[in-house]
Amino acid sequence: LDIHTDEFIVLDGSCLAGKGRMIDLLHEITKLQVNRARHANPLTLLPGNVPIQQLLQKLFRQSVAFAVCYFDLDNFKPFNDFFGFSRGDKVIRFVAELLTANIDDQVDFIGHIGGDDFVAVFRSANWRDTVERILLQFDDSIGGLYIGHIGCVITAADRDGRERQYGQMTLSVGAVAVRPSQWRCHIDLSEEASIAKHHAKAMPGSSLYVHELQVEPP
């Protein structure tokens, strides 16, 4: 095998589409790996904001249906303050592993915006079932990270410096389902996602809220 001279053929279905050199393929793979590492979150190694925006722009151009889900932890800050950053990082990695185990990244996309905020871009039709499964698994497992603390209730200072009690962490998911025709109406996806996330966090426990887009007729 000589990667500098050996070639391979490229098929489109059963038709010959061209040929390429092994060395060129390896160069492209290396470029993709370097680019992914550059924009990955250092804690979870999941893609960050740049790849997320690139994917959304690509989907806009393709005019395909998809759903954007924002995953946000409730009561994470008091947990992080009470147990320390090391235990907090374990929670972040746990959520990343949970998403990775349940979402097929050959079809869909998992990103880590930062902190305790994650995003998934779904093209699969059964994405709601996937999200509901993630929420159930989260609730079943998160108590294990409160090791040594009975009842998963902690006392920590709120944003005003007053001590208060916080219950077990939950996971809120705000979803925006997008149909291709809606992009002609100039929807602000970030604003719609923020609305969905706000409603999800207002619901008790781990929950999914799907924002119904209000689209004006053309």
Please compute the mean of the pLDDT values over residues 171-183 and round it to a whole number.
83
- Other beta carbons within 10 angstroms of residue 76's beta carbon come to 20
pLDDT at 28: 54
pLDDT digits (tens, 9 = 90+) for 195-210: 899 999 999 999 999 9
Residue 215 has pLDDT above 90, yes or no: no
Q: Residue 103: which pLDDT band, with cuts at 50, 70 and 90?
A: very high
pLDDT digits (tens, 9 = 90+) for 16-54: 777 766 655 554 554 444 444 445 687 898 998 888 888
Residue 140 has pLDDT above 60, yes or no: yes
Tokens of 140: 């079943």
Residue 150 has pLDDT above 80, yes or no: no
Q: Residue 116: which pLDDT band, with cuts at 50, 70 and 90?
A: very high
What's the rounded Cα separation, in Å, for the pair 109 and 25?
24
Residue (of 139, 125, 116, 126) closest to 197 by Cα position:
116
- Cβ neighbourhood burial of 217 (10 Å; 0-12, 13-18, 19+): exposed
pLDDT at 38: 45
